[in-house]
Chains A and B, each alone.
Chain A
Amino acid sequence: MVCQDCRKREAQVHLTQIINNEKLSLSLCKECAAARGFHSPLDNVPFPLAEILSGLADSAPDAASVEPKDDLTCQACGLTFTEFTRQGRFSCGECYSAFRSRLEPIMRKIHGASLHRGRNPEYSQLDDNAALPIKEEERLEAELTKAIAAEDFERAAELRDKLRTVREKIGVEETSKG
């Protein structure tokens, strides 16, 4: 599609404005959008987050015709997974737990990893040992052992799946441990 303003460049920005019940749709190139004073809230984001998220929504098996019952909803704030992919922002900390099952591929695309390895709020000193640079694999194993000991089998199954993905990635043969 060609930009509506300059009629030369490819339109990359699509806007819908509703003013006094009048709906106005615009398709503009980046230059003309900037000239009209439109800036994407994601302008400062260093990579195409919006595309990752919307691409993800498109490729998800249930995305084209999301049945409300298939959508995940954060019980704490009411944000749905579909809304999250649209706005690219979580509304509260609970959203992460609510969408956990679908966040791993998103985090991998964004960060190239899906598990935290940095500081933990429980360590309140500054010495470097506190950072505990544990590898994803080791950390998952430890978590898994803990989950099994606590008989939290739902969490254990989740961790086992993650462990499998991590091992596939680093090329470790999965042993029949656990």
Chain B
Amino acid sequence: MFEDMAKSPAAWLSGQGEEALVVLSTRIRLARNVAGCRYPTTADTDTRKRVISYFDSVVTRAGQLFKGQYYKATDICPLDRDFLIERHLISPVFLNGDMSKAVLIGSQERVSIMVNEEDHLRIQSLSSGLDPQGAFELAMKYEIEIGRYLEYDYDKDFGFLTACPTNAGTGMRASVLIHLPGLVLTRDIDRVVSRITRSGLIVRGFYGEGSDVLGNLFQVSNSNTLGLTEADIISQISRMAHEIIEEEARARTRLNEEAADMIEDKIWRAFGILKHARVLTSEEVMNLLSAVRLGHAMKIIDFLDMALINEILLLSQPAHLQKYYGTEMDHNRRDYVRAQMVREKLRDTKP
């Protein structure tokens, strides 16, 4: 399962779209529940199966939109589950507890719908670059189509009802995955993070073993879902993304003025290690790719395209690597094979 998917890049990491030099991707998630059914976490298996069968019939009866890949969680082996998590098509929560769950993956992986995660339905759409409006419109197409067949839990005061009160109302979470090496290097990141937090948004870093943020990647998302319109949330996240992008640009300019030699050296060293190393952990690849990505954006390394950088990022994750080579490997073996994959991908690139 998913062998073809492992060999092809994900559309949301194509490196295309607005502000793609800083923003990797945008995600919109809509939480919905089916009226009259207990929520997945406390529902018995029969209820959960009933919700799946409702969704089955949506998939069967609805239009072309739903002609994607549709799987029951029980039919997906553990490695494939990890693979789907790495590809952001299912969430880690999806793997908790009872496995009467299902997932629909739309064409080009731009949309995935999880059935019986924390809510009956989690519709999420992914876009490359900064594109909250586009991602939202796509998610809504699915939401509206499903709404023709199923009645959503909705309340005049509290909007769309969700298992967790933090999602009620619009049920909408918009998030952007954003690359901020400049702000990390100039140590301005703490100031920017606290500004984001003060404005009512959430920022999360992907932490590795050390205290450094892995790959200088941050996720910024809205925290409030009630009392705002969907359009408010979109403009909130897009305004903040633009502010952060400006801050990052200022930091990069400063680095270029004050430490150009050091930055250039850091970027070329990273590229050298990626191109020649024989053993690489996934964390190391993430950090090295961050430097190379910065080099690409600053036109220091101009012969690599963003899509290739993103493809290596995706493939260096443990489950992806194993799916890509079609065999299960322990972590020592993976570190060796990962370096081999990176070398292959970079083989034809020359300054």
Contacts and interface: CB of A to CB of B under 8 A. Distances in A.
Interface of A: 44-47, 49, 77, 79, 88-93, 96-97, 100, 103, 106-107, 110-121, 124, 126, 128, 131, 133, 136, 143
Provide the main secondary structure of the chain B interface: loop
Most buried by B among A93, A97, A112, A114: A93
A3 B35 CA distance: 45
B38 A116 contact: no
7 contacts: A93-B36, A107-B165, A107-B227, A111-B166, A113-B228, A114-B226, A133-B232
B228 A47 contact: no
Contacts of B230: 118-119, 131
Given A91-B39, A93-B33, A115 B226 contact: yes
A138 to B, nearest CB: 13
Closest 8 CB pairs of A and B: A113-B227, A116-B159, A93-B153, A118-B170, A46-B202, A111-B226, A111-B224, A91-B42
B166 A46 contact: yes
B64 to A, nearest CB: 17
Contacts of B272: none
B169 A118 contact: yes
Contact of A107 (B137, B140, B156, B168): B168
Given A111-B166, A116-B157, A133-B231, 18 more contacts: A46-B221, A47-B223, A49-B166, A77-B38, A90-B163, A91-B163, A92-B37, A96-B168, A103-B158, A113-B224, A117-B229, A117-B232, A118-B228, A119-B229, A121-B151, A121-B154, A124-B144, A143-B156
A124 B153 contact: no
A114 B225 CA distance: 10
A47 B201 CA distance: 11
A77 B33 CA distance: 15
Contact of B147 (A91, A121, A126): A121
B155 A117 contact: no
Nearest to B152: A121
Contacts of A119: 170, 229-230
